[in-house]
């Protein structure tokens, strides 16, 4: 027996460090899986796929500006052309040009060209003044600003979405811990009731009631665990994480933290977008008006043209190639466009009026949301304080009733009712905490202080 005991002791000593290491590894993994709100928001901004598309839109806007500026650079075109006249063209002239001077009765002479022609030309055009190009560059810059503002709006919207999911997961996690405590308390009550039943102090129905409550709590906990897993899947989607990567939220703090906010931020991305759309319409009107102005272009051309009787002569010794080159100024003056530009400007004017009204409506809606958010956060703060006091009282009441039940003074029904009120107070406090956090995020968003929960 002593030998077996020694072997068993040695085996336990061998396995104990392994179990300690395993426990430490699991604890370390659980700690690394926990991510704070700020870390989750930063990860979402860096990795979210929708936000990546918004960043690509910024690059596209920069490319549009570069494309518009490229119209100010010289344009060089090369042309190679070869042709075969199936019927030789004829040039007709008077005999005077052919060397015969017959002013009273000029005769007509015909000159036939060769059937095969080939030419190579290089044309160069440099805009010296073109108001349409300049206004197009200004419009492209406004579009680039629109893309920047759209990205900023998408960034803030993503931060709000992550924060709301995070706070919801915190509430779910807190409910899970509370259910664990309640199940443990109910297990203890089951054991006490079982002992009292075996001693004939209470009826079997009392033990059955406690056991039913315990099973209901276990079922609720399983439901909460499933809900928390679904919320973590949503978080992985927002952060663009792998489905197998572990992630958890930090436990909900015991008290609420009220962050300072100001009034409605007049530089919210929604208002900036409305202002930039008005600016873009103004640039489009200027671009359309620029079409009425003349444009000046420096042009030049250099090339060679050859005429031959047969295709082989182009590669022979016959020198039937003639060069030409010129430099000039091209002035383009628009005279009449059938009122196309004027009607287009009228259309832009109507769109401007709509954009102004939309901007006023947007500002009024944001102001309404801000005022409601101020009222909401004040109400949720009051509710949290009330529910915290209710929880304290419910805990005290349940403690007294539990003592009375053990002493045989209170009934099982009273104990279970007080335990139910305690669980209800716990849930109400967690819900009030979540509602406060959610209202505060909305208020920070509207006041322009959302970066306080994004940046350290």
pLDDT tens series, the chain, 456 aa: 444 344 334 333 333 343 434 444 444 444 458 899 999 999 999 999 999 999 999 999 999 999 999 999 999 999 998 888 888 777 776 655 545 554 555 566 677 777 888 888 999 999 999 998 999 999 999 999 999 999 999 999 999 999 999 999 999 999 999 999 999 988 988 888 888 778 877 788 888 888 898 999 999 999 999 999 999 999 999 999 998 899 999 999 999 988 888 899 999 999 999 999 999 999 999 999 999 999 999 999 999 888 777 777 777 666 678 888 989 999 999 998 888 999 999 999 999 999 999 999 999 999 999 999 999 999 999 999 999 999 999 999 999 998 888 787 888 888 889 999 999 999 999 999 999 999 999 999 999 998 888 764
Distance CA 326, CA 358 (A): 55
CB-side exposure of 178: number of CA atoms within 13 Å? 25
**Contact (CB, 8 A) for 259 and 442:** no
CB-count burial class (<10 Å; 0-12, 13-18, 19+) for 318? middle
Q: Bridge partners of 84?
A: 116
Quote the tokens at residue 421: 């009120």
**Contact (CB, 8 A) for 326 and 252:** no
For residue 388, give the nearest of 249, 209, 252, 269 by alpha carbon: 252
Distance CA 72, CA 70 (A): 5
Other Cβ atoms less than 10 A from the Cβ of 425: the count is 21
pTM score above 0.85: no
For residue 90, give the nearest of 67, 68, 113 by alpha carbon: 113
């Amino acid at each position: 027996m002593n030998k077996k005991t020694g072997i068993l002791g040695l085996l336990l000593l061998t396995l104990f460090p392994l179990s300690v290491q395993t426990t430490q590894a699991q604890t370390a993994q659980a700690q690394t899986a926990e991510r704070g709100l700020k870390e989750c928001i930063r990860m979402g901004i860096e990795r979210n796929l929708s936000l990546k598309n918004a960043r690509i839109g910024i690059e596209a806007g920069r490319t549009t500006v570069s494309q518009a500026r490229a119209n100010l650079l010289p344009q060089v075109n090369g042309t190679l052309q070869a042709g075969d006249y199936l019927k030789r063209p004829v040039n007709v002239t008077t005999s005077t040009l052919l060397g015969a001077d017959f002013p009273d009765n000029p005769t007509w002479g015909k000159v036939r060209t060769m059937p095969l022609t080939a030419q190579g030309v290089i044309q160069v055009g440099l805009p010296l003044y073109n108001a349409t190009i300049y206004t197009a560059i200004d419009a492209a810059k406004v579009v680039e600003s629109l893309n920047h503002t759209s990205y900023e709006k998408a960034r803030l919207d993503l931060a709000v979405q992550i924060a709301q999911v995070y706070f919801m997961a915190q509430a779910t996690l807190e409910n899970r811990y509370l259910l664990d405590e309640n199940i443990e308390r109910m297990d203890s009550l089951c054991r006490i009731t079982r002992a009292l039943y075996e001693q004939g102090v209470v009826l079997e129905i009392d033990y059955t009631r406690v056991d039913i409550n315990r099973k209901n709590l276990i079922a609720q906990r399983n439901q909460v665990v499933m809900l928390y897993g679904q919320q973590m899947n949503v978080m992985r989607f927002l952060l663009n994480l792998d489905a197998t990567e572990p992630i958890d939220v930090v436990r909900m703090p015991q008290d609420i933290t009220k962050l300072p906010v100001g009034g409605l931020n007049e530089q919210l991305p929604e208002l900036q977008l409305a202002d930039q759309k008005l600016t873009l319409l103004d640039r489009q009107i200027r671009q359309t008006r620029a079409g009425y102005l003349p444009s000046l272009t420096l042009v030049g051309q250099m090339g060679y043209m050859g005429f031959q009787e047969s295709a082989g002569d182009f590669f022979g010794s016959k020198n039937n190639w003639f060069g030409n080159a010129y430099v000039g100024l091209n002035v383009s003056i628009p005279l009449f466009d059938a009122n196309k530009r004027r009607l287009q400007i009228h259309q832009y004017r109507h769109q401007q009026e709509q954009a102004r009204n939309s901007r006023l409506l947007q500002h009024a809606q944001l102001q309404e949301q801000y005022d409601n958010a101020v009222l909401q956060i004040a109400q949720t703060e009051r509710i949290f304080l009330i529910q915290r006091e209710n929880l304290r009282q419910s805990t005290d009441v349940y403690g007294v009733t539990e003592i009375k039940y053990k002493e045989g003074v209170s009934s099982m029904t009273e104990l279970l009712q007080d335990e139910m009120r305690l669980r209800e107070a716990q849930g109400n406090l967690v819900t009030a905490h979540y509602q406060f956090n959610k209202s505060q995020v909305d208020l920070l968003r509207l006041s322009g202080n959302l970066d306080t929960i994004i940046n350290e």
